[in-house]
Amino acid sequence: MALSDYLVTDDLTIILALVAAGLFLLHNLYKPQALVHPILLGRQSDVARVRNPTESAVYRNYSTGMLGRFPLRPSKDQHVLLDLVKPDADAPRSLWSTKITNPELRERVANIGAGLMRLAGLAPQESNVLLLLNDGIEFLLADLALASSSIPSFTLSSLSLLSTVLENHPPSAIITQADFLTQLLEHVYDINESNNHTIIVVGDIDSLKLPRLNNIKIVPWDDLEREGASVEKAALPVPDPNEVFTVSFFETPSGGYEGVQLTHQNLTAGVAATRALMPPSNAISPLDTIISAYSLSTPYGRTIAYTALFEGTGFATVDSTKLIKRDDAPSLTGLKDLRTTANYRTPSPTILFVRPDHLDSLSTSILHEAKRSSWLLHNLAWRHKLANILEGFITKQSLWDRLVFDSARVKVMGQGAGTVRAVIVSGGPLEAQALTPARIALSVPVINAHSHPLVAGPVFASHALDLQTFPTSNAAPSPSAADAYAFTYLAPVGPPSVNVEAKLTGLDDAAVEAGADPIGALHVRGPSVGRPLSAEEEPEEEELRGWRATGERAKVAPNGTFKVAIGSKV
Amino acid sequence: MAFDLGTPVNTALLLYIFYAIQRIIFPSSSVPKTVPNEFKHGYTWMPKSHPPTLLFQTYTPKTLAPFNGEDGKRILLAIKGVVYDVTAGRNFYGPSGMYANFAGRDASRGMAKQSFEESMLTPIDQPLDKLEDLTPEEIENMKGWMEHFSSKYIICGRLVENDAV
């Protein structure tokens, strides 16, 4: 047969040709557009042009640049801690179980401050106060009052440090809770100090059977507020932003303890960095509610709380942040921990600052519920969502969410499941393989960050819209097994935060000059990095001042993102 | 109208339609095993190499001299013990440039006295120029040049005596 006999066309051909052309256009052009252009993800840090031998170059966030200045405060008016409570924003919002406006908060802070001076006999810049409180409005009030009166406060990341701190850094007064009072009195007697102690107690003390009190004065918190409210308050002098307002004690992995001195500027810089975690199109606003899994006794936890205060959002913390627990209370993790915030009066959470165990628990529960409802639909939804992520796109409003995932989320997170709009994870190792299922399950930006007890604010934070999925690479030879595991399996934590610069020391120069990724001990510097108590004299040169060793090892990838092997974690 | 699915053209079109429908309903969701080095080849990509970073090194007049830009090498020059990488200024300091004399040498005296003559340079095997006979204005001029170089080029090393290494 001739060729023309093969190419017989009829009306059906026309129809089929049109359909085929339509499908071709649909398949090739209707691709989702990446949320952030991949060219930006190839250069996330700005790198210095010169490096010293055995050290890496200095890395900064690309948006700050090597020549840029670090943001020191969220906006030009915030110099000291109390400025973070904006006096002219008078919309009420819930902090834990208290609905309060900013002017009311400031008034209460002034009352507490006046009460502390009168009843507890504290003097500015001479006394220090130990805060042994669980996270709550009283902690914030005490912190703000002490900071505004230039009285340094001490906080502990865990109660095991109590005896050490009481011995080495005896405070003039202690603020604690009623259920811890008896144990605290035992500790104080053990130390056998002959000084007078003042203990301010939050909660009901009438029902406690207190031992004989010789040189200890017990002041109820409510008396403090009442006393402060009843007197004329003189205007206090504004503290210097570089003045230390708190010392936060934490345990080091080697078993000792370390304290970090934080100034007002460290905290305002930390708030500026935490605000920068969210992209400008999706910034934190007064309509949000922030849930934090970090205790206010740690610098990062405090920064998150003050970011919430500054932005006027609702705020609550999960139960695992409690410093003082009942003896029989189990320590909660994962979903059970997240659900404890339902006890507070905050509206449903929108931004979660959580740990990897919370994220894992959430994503596995949601995916399990989705599989249970319909296996076929779940498979299809998973394929489509994963295909979108591989193109760099994720959304919570797609067809597959409506069909499959929304109901799963409601079953896991309750009625407010649709409100979660961002999750920021830090505080533990997060595996790279766990990140993509979490992104599919939640369909919101999941930001992998890294925090450290010395730094107010995050140290590293990944780009909010970064959805890159790297396959698990072959393990490069490295001296320690912990390093090999971390650098192969953990997810990258992104570039340094907007006001932190990082460098690695102890490098193998020959390997790095040959093109290998730099691996070394991590040092950080910046306005949000506090000063450790054990820091020695600062060197004279500008280049060498201010670098703090974090005690962790890190590796840099060619696109400027870091991977950190967790060392001394909060 | 005649419908004949058996004709080759119709069959081919029908097969293509089935293929396209299958790709739309079941998209490919496999994570690629190798990571591309260009952003055009994929959303998940990694640049091939780190941004270039110079290692801060200690040079002597003898080890500095080869870096005069010939054969595509870097161009370095030193002022008052500070070595600058001026490869970006190949037009000036490269082999055919106006100031080619300074490439790979200690240019302190020339910068101070504003001269590019050979007589401003000390031979490589001699000790470094002590610059004792310069007037204060010449020292100021040299410091001004050092500031200009610090902002325009990269400080990548220091210059010490031949036997100090």
pLDDT along chain B (165 residues), means of 10: 66 90 87 88 91 91 88 89 90 85 88 85 85 88 91 91 79
Q: Report the 10 Å Cβ neighbour count for A321.
A: 19
Q: How many helices (H) and strands (E) does chain B have?
A: 5, 5
Q: Is the pLDDT of residue A221 over 60?
A: yes
- Mind giving me the DSSP string for A277-328? TS-GGG---TT-EEEE-S-TTSHHHHHHHHHHHHHT-EEEE-GGG-SS--TT
Q: Domain residue spans in chain B?
A: 57-159
- The CA distance from B131 to the nearest CA of chain A, in Å, is 25
Contact assignment for B24 to A26 by CB distance below 8 Å: yes
User: Which residue in chain B is spatially nearest to A46 when comparing CA positions?
Assistant: B51
Contact assignment for A11 to B7 by CB distance below 8 Å: no
pLDDT, tens digit, for every residue of A176-206? 998 888 888 888 887 766 677 788 999 887 7
Q: Long-range pairs for A307-311 at CB < 8 Å and ≥24 separation? A: A307/A271, A307/A274, A307/A275, A308/A95, A309/A84, A309/A85, A309/A95, A309/A105, A309/A140, A310/A74, A310/A78, A310/A84, A310/A85, A310/A86, A310/A271, A310/A275, A311/A275, A311/A284, A311/A285, A311/A286
Contact assignment for A12 to B31 by CB distance below 8 Å: no
**HEC per residue, A433-450:** HHHHHHHHHHCCCEEEEE
CB distance from B14 to chain A under 8 Å? yes
A390 vs B8, B31, B56: nearest CB: B31
Residue pair A461/A447 in contact (Cβ under 8 Å)? The answer is: yes
**Gyration radius (Cα) of chain B, Å:** 31
Q: Is the pLDDT of residue A244 over 50?
A: yes
What type of residue sits at position A560? G
Structure tokens at B7: 């004709």
Q: Tell whether A158 is covered by a domain.
A: yes
Q: What stretches of A420-508 show up as alpha helix (H) in DSSP?
A: 432-442, 481-489
Nearest to A45 by CA among A554, A565, A480: A554
Contact assignment for B27 to A53 by CB distance below 8 Å: no
Half-sphere exposure of B85 (CA within 13 A, CB side): 15
The predicted pLDDT at position A112 comes to 92
pLDDT, tens digit, for every residue of A274-322? 999 999 989 999 999 999 999 999 999 999 999 999 999 999 999 888 8
CB distance from B6 to chain A under 8 Å? no
Please, is B4 exposed, middle or buried when counting C-beta atoms within 10 Å of its C-beta (0-12, 13-18, 19+)? middle
CATH number of A89's domain: 3.40.50.980
Nearest to A13 by CA among A21, A23, A2: A21
- With beta carbons under 8 A apart, name residues in chain B contacting A513: 55
Which residue of A12, A62, A512 to mutate against B (max B Cβ within 10 Å)? A12
- With beta carbons under 8 A apart, name residues in chain A contacting B24: 23, 26-27
* Boundaries of domain holding A117: 81-263
Would you call A454 helix, strand, or coil by DSSP? Answer: coil
pTM: 0.91
CB distance from B24 to chain A under 8 Å? yes
Confidence of residue A569 (pLDDT cuts 50, 70, 90): very low
Interface of B with A in 49-108 (CB under 8 A): 49-57
Mean pLDDT of A82-89: 90
The predicted pLDDT at position A5 comes to 66
- The CA distance from B54 to the nearest CA of chain A, in Å, is 5
- The CA distance from B29 to the nearest CA of chain A, in Å, is 5
Fold designation for B57-159: Flavocytochrome B2; Chain A, domain 1 (3.10.120)
Confidence of residue A540 (pLDDT cuts 50, 70, 90): confident
Residue pair B69/B94 in contact (Cβ under 8 Å)? The answer is: yes
Would you call A146 helix, strand, or coil by DSSP? Answer: helix
The predicted pLDDT at position B8 comes to 79
* Crossing angle (nearest 10°) for helices A102-119 and A137-148: 70
What type of residue sits at position A170? P
Contact assignment for A9 to B29 by CB distance below 8 Å: no
What type of residue sits at position A151? I
User: Which residue in chain B is spatially nearest to A30 when comparing CA positions?
Assistant: B24
Q: Tell whether A111 is covered by a domain.
A: yes
CB distance from B28 to chain A under 8 Å? yes
Q: Is the pLDDT of residue A513 over 80?
A: yes
Q: Tell whether A395 is covered by a domain.
A: no
The predicted pLDDT at position A193 comes to 62
Mean pLDDT of A103-126: 89
- With beta carbons under 8 A apart, name residues in chain B contacting A57: 53
**Average pLDDT of the residues of chain A:** 89
pLDDT, tens digit, for every residue of A29-73? 878 889 999 999 999 999 999 999 999 999 999 999 998 999 999
The predicted pLDDT at position A210 comes to 72
- With beta carbons under 8 A apart, name residues in chain B contacting A16: 10, 13-14, 17
User: Which residue in chain A is spatially nearest to B22 when comparing CA positions?
Assistant: A27
Which residue of B34, B43, B57 to mutate against A (max A Cβ within 10 Å)? B43
Please calculate the CA angle B14-B18-B22 and round it to the nearest 5 degrees: 170
Domain count, chain A: 1
Percent of chain A with pLDDT over 70: 96
The predicted pLDDT at position A261 comes to 95
- With beta carbons under 8 A apart, name residues in chain B contacting A556: 50
The predicted pLDDT at position A245 comes to 93
- With beta carbons under 8 A apart, name residues in chain B contacting A43: 47, 51
Confidence of residue A479 (pLDDT cuts 50, 70, 90): low
B55 vs A39, A391, A509: nearest CB: A509
pLDDT, tens digit, for every residue of A334-345? 888 888 888 888
Confidence of residue A541 (pLDDT cuts 50, 70, 90): confident
- The CA distance from B84 to the nearest CA of chain A, in Å, is 11
Percent of chain A with pLDDT over 90: 56
The predicted pLDDT at position A555 comes to 93
- With beta carbons under 8 A apart, name residues in chain B contacting A557: 46
